[in-house]
Amino acid sequence: MFYSSGLPFHLTKNSHYRSAFSYAANTSNLSGYVRPTYNKWIGPLLAKERSHVENLLQPIRDSWNDKGVTIVSDGWTDPQRRPLINFMVVNKSGPLFFRSIDGSSEIKDKDFIAKHMRDVIMEVGPKNVVQIITDNASVSKATCMLIEAEFPSIYWTPCVVHTLNLALKNICAAKNCERNNDTYKECFWIT
C-alpha cells in the first residue's frame, strides 16, 4: 500500500494509522499482531519490495541480449520544479524505467546529457542497444551525435510525437488574421 500508492512513510507515526491497524488486527482475531513501524517500512520492508520488483523485471532484462533495446530519454520538470532527465529501456518484452537524473545544479548541455546517456548504455550493454529516441531539441541532437560517434552501431531517432507536435504548433500558429478563433478550431477539430 505504501509503496504502490506513494504514501509518505511518516504516515506510520499517525495515530489514525495506528488505530486502523489495531482495529483490523482485533476484528480479524490476529491477537499479538504488531503493525510495521516507520523504521521497518524504510528498511527491511522496502528492501524486500525492491527485491520483489527486481525479480518481476528480470525477464525483461534477460531479453535484452536476444532482442536488443531502444533507450528513450526525455526531460521534464517535477512538482518541486527540479529539471529531471528520464531514461527508459524498451524492447518487445516491454518498457523498463531505468533511471532519472536530477539536473538542478547542472548545465544541461550535450556533454552532461551524453555522460549520463553513456552510463545507461554501458549498464545495459552497448551490444544490446540498437537506437536512442529523444526529442528534437538541438541539445538532444548534439548529444546523440556524440553517442553515434562513440558507438557506431547505435542510431539516434528523433521522437515522432515531438516532431508532429512541433509541426502542428507551426501549422496552427495564430496568423495575423481576423479569424484566429476559426483557424484554431479547424486545427484542433473543436466544434
pLDDT digit string (tens) for 78-101? 888 889 999 999 999 999 999 999
Yes or no: say if 72 and 94 are a contact pair by the CB < 8 Å rule: no
* pLDDT tens digits along 105-140: 888 889 999 999 999 999 999 999 999 999 888 888
5, 12, 31, 152 from 16: Cα distances, Å: 18, 9, 19, 58
In this structure, of 6-15, 100-109, 132-141, 157-166, the range with the lowest mean pLDDT score is 157-166
Asked if pLDDT for residue 1 goes beyond 70, the answer is yes
Cell numbers describing residue 23:
482495529
In this structure, of 22-26, 130-134, 140-144, the range with the lowest mean pLDDT score is 22-26
Cα dihedral 3, 82, 90, 6 in deg (nearest 10): 10
Model pTM above 0.85: no
In this structure, of 22-26, 39-43, 147-151, the range with the lowest mean pLDDT score is 22-26
CATH 3.30.420.10 intervals, the chain: 66-158
Topology of domain 66-158 in CATH is Nucleotidyltransferase; domain 5 (3.30.420)
Task: Measure the CA angle with vertex 93, ends 99 and 118; round to 5°.
Answer: 35
Task: Tell me the average pLDDT of the chain.
Answer: 86
List the end-to-end C-alpha distance of the chain, in Å, as a whole number: 43
pLDDT class for 46, splitting at 50, 70, 90? very high
To the nearest 10 degrees (0 to 180), the angle between helices 138-150 and 110-124 is 50
